[in-house]
Amino acid sequence: MSSPLTIADVGEFEVIARLKQRFARSGVGIVRGIGDDTAVLRPSPGYLVLATTDAAVEGVHFLRASTTPRLLGQRVLAVNLSDIAAMGGIPRWALVSLSLPETTPLDFIDDLAAGLGEEAARFGVGIVGGNLARSPERLVLDLTLLGEGEPDRVVYRTGARAGDRVLVTGTLGDAAAGLAVLLGDAPSGLPGADELIGRQRLPTPRVEAGRVIARSGLATAMIDVSDGLASDLGHLCEDNGLGATVFADQLPLSAAIQTLAATVGRDPLDWALHGGEDYELLLTAPSERVAQLTAAVQAVGVRLTDVGEMTERAGIWLQRPGGQREPLRGTLWRHF
């Protein structure tokens, strides 16, 4: 039996040709996609261009043994989509840079590209360019995503005011609970465990909810929850020179996380407050706008929960149902 073909066997140009063919699909505003020295894009008249980038490094962000190339491709786009969602933008165009060992199987690249293409198609993103480079040992996948937003509708991290409510989409902590299952810290056979693992492997970027929030003009500030509620609320507070109080009994928890937490005797709030990779949206809005905002987000099938309040007083506090308060500290993900 012959061993599978690697990149070295077919050569760089063949790999590029395959990617080019796969991503030849047209998209909005693409004057020229892959195949020239640069992509040529035409932004919608009157819109601002949003730009974000995020990398996945083998051994740091993922292990080849514990993911699939397809999921890897989907995921690197999903986390970038979440950042466009957090501005209330429309995702449009992606550039992908791949650094790979030459021993990488061709199948791996094909599957990764299939995952990327699938996620791109789902969100109307055109893959318009990229780069292929040789890496000595590890795979590095770098993705730049461009989007568009209406100048008077883009939602920034700044703009929150004391007294604004703190709102969050979806449920919190599921990805962290899923990771606990994957790492063997929690049993895998429980009802809902697969759902938690799924949320860890592939987040659902809240693009549609982000658009609804932006177009409503009702939110004052927004960020996506990538490092955990405590950390990302910390960023919002810092950027606005404010503090916040979070009400423990209002945090949205899935049925699956509650079942798992009860079974292993853990407080699900640990995952909900400090677990990363939820990729939900965290936003602020004056209290009189909350009902309208919640209804608008629910209309696109996404839950929006009022979890706290922005305060003049600095610091983030967690308030328990009995009224006790404790300081809430973000466990910062340290890159270096």
> Which CB, 34 or 143, lies closer to Mg ion?
143
Q: Which of 148, 164, 224, 309 binds Mg ion (CB under 5 A)?
A: 224
> Which CB, 52 or 99, lies closer to Mg ion?
52
Span near Mg ion by CB under 5 A; candidates 79-87, 134-142, 271-279, 312-320:
79-87
Tokens representing 119 are 């996620």
Cross-sheet strand order for the sheet of 304-311: 221-225, 280-285, 165-169, 304-311, 243-247, 316-319, 325-327
Could you count the other beta carbons within 10 Å of the beta carbon of residue 177? Answer: 34
> Which CB, 7 or 145, lies closer to Mg ion?
145
Span near Mg ion by CB under 5 A; candidates 82-90, 109-117, 191-199, 214-222:
82-90
Q: Give the number of residues in contact with Mg ion, rule: CB under 5 A.
A: 2
To Mg ion, the closest distance from the beta carbon of 50 in angstroms equals 12
CA neighbor of 119 nearest in space, from 15, 207, 41, 57: 207
Span near Mg ion by CB under 5 A; candidates 80-88, 124-132, 193-201, 272-280:
80-88
Span near Mg ion by CB under 5 A; candidates 72-80, 179-187, 220-228, 324-332:
220-228
> Which CB, 55 or 162, lies closer to Mg ion?
55
Binding status of residue 83 toward Mg ion by CB under 5 A: yes
> Which CB, 33 or 278, lies closer to Mg ion?
278
Binding status of residue 309 toward Mg ion by CB under 5 A: no
Contacts of 65 by beta carbon, 8 Å cutoff, 6+ apart: none
Q: Give contact residues for Mg ion (rule: CB under 5 A).
A: 83, 224
